[in-house]
């Protein structure tokens, strides 16, 4: 009937809970619904997607699945993200003389950045999961979720734009900053 810390069981599986909501924490105290066990002044916040697991947003980063927004919103945000990346990368490739075979192609939700001998990046929408998938010749495949206004890779907490900025900075031997693009940082 009830699972971890009094939360309703999800199909009888704590493993399903871990896939749905990953929340790094140092102790279990901030999860406890009893106010006498939490730290003084710390409020228990109930998050609707995570099956009413109390948590403290102020002290720890909260990762949830992308089910918090509808399909139309996902399509708009992912399209805007990929279009802004495509426009920037096209300008970057056109102005860069060191990579002769470089090419950018954006079609049907798939952005391909071919850098010749360096390798090929593929960034695409994954609508059923409400994710953006990223394949890099350096860091390999990653799946990004839309969290707090930014596309975040849950395993390391690094945004899509930061990862791509770092890798392209090494390729082009100069500072590349994609954080100013649509959904590239929390401020945008």
Confidence (pLDDT) at 98: 78
Confidence (pLDDT) at 32: 39
Confidence (pLDDT) at 39: 47
Confidence (pLDDT) at 17: 36
- C-alpha span between 186 and 188 (Å, rounded): 6
169 Cα distance to chain centroid: 20
Over pLDDT 90: what percentage of the chain? 56
Residues 6+ apart with CB under 8 A from 96: 102, 172
- C-alpha span between 104 and 87 (Å, rounded): 9
Across the 188 residues of the chain, what is the mean pLDDT of every consecutive 10-residue run? 42 36 37 42 40 31 51 95 97 87 94 95 96 97 95 96 96 94 82
**Helix, coil or strand: residue 51:** coil
Confidence (pLDDT) at 97: 80
- C-alpha span between 114 and 38 (Å, rounded): 52
Give the N- to C-terminal CA distance of the chain in Å, as an integer: 42
Give the number of other CB atoms < 10 A from CB of residue 124.
Answer: 18
Confidence (pLDDT) at 66: 44
């Amino acid at each position: 009937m009830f699972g971890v810390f009094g939360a309703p069981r999800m199909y009888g599986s704590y493993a399903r809970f871990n896939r749905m909501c990953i929340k790094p924490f140092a102790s279990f105290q901030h999860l406890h619904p009893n106010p006498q066990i939490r730290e003084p002044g710390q409020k228990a916040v109930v998050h609707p997607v995570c099956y009413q697991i109390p948590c403290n947003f102020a002290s720890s980063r909260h990762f949830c699945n992308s089910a918090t927004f509808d399909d139309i919103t996902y399509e708009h945000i992912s399209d805007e993200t990929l279009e802004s990346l495509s426009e920037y990368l096209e300008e970057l490739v056109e102005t860069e003389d060191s990579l002769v075979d470089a090419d950018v192609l954006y079609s049907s939700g798939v952005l391909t950045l071919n850098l010749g001998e360096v390798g090929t990046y593929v960034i695409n929408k994954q609508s059923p999961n409400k994710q953006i998938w990223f394949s890099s010749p350096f860091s390999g495949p990653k799946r990004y979720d839309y969290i707090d206004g930014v596309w975040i890779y849950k395993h390391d907490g690094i945004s899509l734009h930061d990862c791509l900025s770092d890798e392209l900075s090494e390729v082009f031997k100069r500072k590349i900053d994609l954080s100013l693009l649509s959904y590239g940082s929390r401020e945008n």
